[in-house]
Structure formats: structure tokens, C-alpha cells
Amino acid sequence: MSPLKLPEVLADKNQDLSSLILAISNACIGVANQVKNSALEGNLGVTGIINVQGETQQTLDLKANDLFVKICSANPKLAAIVSEEVEEPLWLKEPEKDDFILYIDPLDGSSNLNVDLSVGSIFSITRVGSSDARCVLRSGKHQLAAGYAIYGSSTMFVVSTGRDVQGYTLCVSSGDFILTHPFMTIPKSTSEFAINTSRARFWKSPIRRYVSECTAGEAGPRGQDFNMRWTASMVADVHRILVRGGVFLYPKDTNNQSTGGKIRLLYEANPMAFIVKAAAGRASTGDEDILSISPKSLHQRTSVILGSADEVNLIESYH
């Protein structure tokens, strides 16, 4: 039997949704080529522009955003695009019943570009609201599909429509995404955690307790050794968890609590929580399920703890 390609797998799903997911996958192929050729084409480095997040945009942040808009806006059922790189939603049409809203982080981890580490793209899809068609502040439970692309040693496209998680690898010779990681599942337990330890002085007591118990190793209260991994690219860290287990933490701390945390809710935390849940993991702020949060603003931030269910449950208990 020949390997399954992304269009073949989506063929029996909602045709409008499938069409949009395929457009997103094509945009990801374009971004992969931009990343691959960035040094050769002089696209490394910053633009000097400060985005709505208060962060200096990389040249490829803008190019990736423009590519997603160009390719995806051709879809007749797409009403709006909400992007990390743009302050307000981009409305493509007057929204109608069953139209879609697309949320994107066009190039996650772009600060890693100059040192040739893995970066990625994240996306989430919802329908327009029934009561207010122009409201894009939808909780994660309204997602129809979510996924990401990772641009590393190979380019992968990982997608879920809520029932399971499927991973596709880009075949360079054919230009097709081929199913290579079917039914990705996160083990309940793990011996790996990912957290930015340079922020340890800001952590609150539940996080300090969890990390100290992990680093105490076999002689500590957990009775086992743990490895710490941190890539500074959420896509790369979550992808590792989907492949071999683990837990990712970017908690609200005393330094970022005024903004609610670090990770953006609509186009980073929600899609990753959706994927992790579909892969038998859990995603929490420490106090509540990420998918249950009712967003109050477009670029709202949140605390994120996600991955192997046993570890997320334990960290929640410490809160």
C-alpha cells in the first residue's frame, strides 16, 4: 500500500475545512522554503519594527505572515485571519454562517533563526460566532482544527480535528506531505520537562517545588532522574513531547503576571492545548483547563503547562 498523502487523509472530512487545512499546509511549505533559504536571500535579522507584542519583528516574521495571508485568503469560506504579527483581525469578507476564522503564529521561535535551530508555525480554526459574527474572541473549546508545522531536519505538518493527531513529513522530491506519524499519542508519565530556568527567580512556589523535585533526581521525592530540555521555540518543545512524552511549562510568574503570562492564548496556547488533548495529554494554566478560558482581548497571554497527563495533574495539585 502506498503511503497516505495529506489530501487523501482529509478527503472524507468536511470539504470546506479540508480545503482550508490544505491551504495552510501549502503556506507552511512556502514558509519552510523561506526558512531554508533565509541566509542565502539575506532575510535573517530584525526589521526594526516593534509588533503589538512589544517584540522586535524578524524579517521572516513578516514574510511568513504575508505568505499565510496570500495563500489562505483565497479560500472562499475564510472570513478573517488573526495573526500574532498584526494588531487587529484581517477581515476578508462579510462573515456568513459556517465561515471560518483562522488564528496563526506565522513563525514561532523566530529568534532561533540566526543559530539554525528549529522554528515553526502554529494555527487554529474556528467558525464565526452565531451571536456576533465579527467576534473573534472564541474559547479553545470552539476549535474545529489546530496544528503546526516544524521546520527542522525535516519539515513536518501535524494536525488534529479533535479526535486524534496525525503527523506528516514533507517529501522533498514530490512536494507532498506524507503520513509518517499516525495517531500521535503522549505517554501518561515522563522523565523530561521543559522550562526556561533563567526565570527561576520569578517562579511561584508550585513551580519551584515541581522543578526542585525533578532536579533532585533519584534521591529526591520523585524517586527518578529527570532531563530538562528547552528550545525557546514552543513548536519544537511541544513536538518533542508528542513524539516521546514530557511536559512544557511557561507559567505565570511574579515578572509576567501583570500580562497574564507569556504565551498568547488564541494562536499559541489554544491550538497546542487542543492538539495535546487529542493526543491523550493535558493542558492547564495550573488552575484551569486552557480550553475553557474565555478570552477578553485579541493578544491575551496565559500561563501554560501541558504534556504528559500525570505530570500536569501533579503540577495542578501543587497549585
* CA contacts within 13 A on the Cβ side of 188: 2
DSSP, collapsed to helix, strand or coil, labels residue 242 as helix
Q: To which residue does cell 533532585 refer? A: 216
As annotated, the binding site for substrate includes 108-111, 196, 262
As annotated, the binding site for Mg(2+) includes 84, 105, 107-108, 268
* CA contacts within 13 A on the Cβ side of 284: 19
Residues paired with 104 in a beta bridge: 83, 123
- 60 backbone dihedrals φ, ψ, rounded to 5°: -75, -20
Is the separation of the CB atoms in 248 and 305 below 8 Å? yes
If we measure between CA atoms, which residue out of 256, 265, 259, 236 comes closest to residue 248?
A: 236
Q: Give the contacts of 64 (CB within 8 A, at least 6 positions apart).
A: 31, 34, 106, 107, 121
As annotated, the binding site includes 84, 105, 107-111, 196, 262, 268
